[in-house]
Amino acid sequence: MDQVDPRRLIPRTNDLLALPAVREARTRLNGRIIRELVRDVQEQARSGGLPAGQVEPVLLAAVAARTATTLRPVLNATGVIVHTNLGRAPLSEGAVAALVAASGYVDVELDLSDGSRSRRGAGARAALLAACPAAEDALVVNNGAAALVLATTALAAGREVVLSRGELVEIGAGFRLTDLMESTGARLREVGTTNRTHLHDYAGALGPDTGCILKVHPSNFRVDGFTSAVPMAELSRLAAGNGVPLVADLGSGLLAPDPFLPDEPDAATALASGADVVIASGDKLLGGPQAGLLLGRREVIARLARHPLARAVRADKLALAALEATVAGGPPPVVQALHADAGQLRRRTDRLARELGAAVVPHDGRVGGGGAPGVPLAGWALRLPEGVARLLRTGDPAVLPRVHDGFCLVDLRCVPERDDARIAAAVREALASLEAADAGRAG
């Protein structure tokens, strides 16, 4: 008797597409993705890698696991608060709720009382001005680099931007602020030296071709030793005396001083010291969504807002909603992590260590994202075998630890306490997998 070709037992495409769970998945996945999942499972069966009788359950599992985005949530156990590779600031619950509400139709540019068009993002602007009274006006764009490009273009396109050589900063992924500014058509007029710049250096560079003076906070590095920089107030008097706008790019996004970071500049102090425009990021120490904030004198902000480039770099409704909720709401996760109590971190870490039989070691966290370089944030970490790190990264949930000196370190600073049990389960599973792999190699 002829044997039946096992490939003929593979369920047909239409039958698989008609399965109730597969039909239901069309509410969250498009038809192309579902058909690809069906074909992938069928190909596994045709190649002999999967029994025909397992096609349906394997497909159902694949459909259930597939999401409309390939981005995976990650538990940040590095101790680095503003982690650029993890999307910088995690949003507060209030900001998430505002973002979801704004995903539909919202009055982002409409006055509902009379039906007329209104100023875009008025709520976010009002929240920023309430949080930073030193600013007369505010403008929100899509990121910090865009804010710098807009300011440079509106104030100095075809003219000179005067800045210190000690502030020629390269940011992440090899991008240099100097390249960004030159792309606008502005010409850079470098003054001073890498380690020392004086007021007379700026004064000697000013002339009829000066568009603005730019002061950049070198937030991702420090220059120590024989150094000198011009205070904002002195630079402001020079700029005002020559009718030149003073732009301060602070980077990290503090609106007001923070005692935990005494050397980190903030918008309120910079404006009180005479800066005409302050530039900052929304997704760093402010703890909100990706956004570029421009705060300053009313007439200068209005000049930037009128420039055609402002339309190209404007923030969308989701960022505006999340930003307003971040500024108007309670402390976001970034602020909570920055001010986390070291004693409470120790208690949480000790509790996990007892459950897992792991050691606890001192571990300094970091602000990250180019903020407060070299400033340690005292804390603690679980010390685990280095081989656990990859298993944690690829597990479910994905946990990103720090690998240092041949060990895997799990720092709870940026992990909400409600997720401690998930961290424990992930570590337990990773340790078991590592032990099994070691035993297999030994055998």
pLDDT attached to residue 4 = 63
The pTM (predicted TM-score) of the whole model is 0.91
Distance CA 38, CA 62 (A): 9
Residues 120 and 46 in one domain: no
Distance CA 75, CA 150 (A): 35
**Degrees to nearest 5, angle at CA 70 with 74 and 77:** 10
Tens place of pLDDT per residue across the chain (443 aa): 456 667 788 999 999 999 999 999 999 999 999 999 999 999 999 998 999 999 999 999 999 999 999 899 999 999 999 999 999 999 999 999 999 999 999 999 999 999 999 999 999 999 999 999 999 999 999 999 999 999 999 999 999 999 999 888 877 666 787 888 888 888 999 999 989 999 999 999 999 999 999 999 876 667 777 888 999 999 999 999 999 999 999 988 899 999 989 889 999 999 999 999 999 999 999 999 999 999 999 999 999 999 999 999 999 999 999 999 999 999 999 999 999 999 999 999 999 999 999 999 999 999 998 788 778 999 999 999 999 999 999 999 999 999 999 999 999 999 999 999 999 999 999 999 998 888 777 76
pLDDT attached to residue 87 = 95
- Report DSSP letters for 305-339, one per residue: HHSTHHHHTB--HHHHHHHHHHHHSS--HHHHHHT
Distance CA 290, CA 280 (A): 11
Residues 187 and 96 in one domain: yes
Residues 179 and 285 in one domain: yes
* Residue 437, token pair as written in the block: 């792999």
Last residue of a domain, one of 330, 353, 374: 330
Residues 198 and 228 in one domain: yes
Domain count, the chain: 3
Residues 286 and 146 in one domain: yes
C-alpha distance from residue 437 to each of 105, 266, 385, 400, 441 (Å): 53, 51, 13, 21, 6
pLDDT attached to residue 43 = 95
pLDDT attached to residue 177 = 79
Residue 397: cis peptide before it, omega within 30 degrees of 0: yes
Residues 202 and 220 in one domain: yes
Tell me the one-letter amino acid at 349. Answer: T
User: Which range marks the domain in which residue 44 is found?
Assistant: 6-61
Last residue of a domain, one of 314, 330, 346: 330
pLDDT attached to residue 363 = 96
List strand residue ranges (DSSP E) for 66-209, in order.
74-76, 110-111, 116-117, 137-141, 160-164, 187-191
CA-nearest of 254, 253, 222, 265 to 147 is: 253
The backbone torsions φ and ψ at residue 422, rounded to the nearest 5 degrees and listed phi first, read: -70, -40
Query: What element of type H or E holds 397?
Result: none
The backbone torsions φ and ψ at residue 308, rounded to the nearest 5 degrees and listed phi first, read: -55, -30
> Residue 168 domain-assigned?
yes
Tell me the one-letter amino acid at 93. Answer: E
Instruction: Please report, for the domain that includes residue 267, its CATH number.
Output: 3.40.640.10
> Residue 103 domain-assigned?
yes
Q: Please say whether the dihedral angle defined by the alpha carbons of residues 4, 6, 12 and 13, taken in this order, is positive or negative.
A: negative
Helix, coil or strand: residue 439 = helix
HEC string of 9-56 equals HCCCHHHHHCCHHHHHHCCCCCHHHHHHHHHHHHHHHHCCCCCHHHHH
Q: Are strands 246-251 and 407-411 parallel, antiparallel or unpaired?
A: unpaired
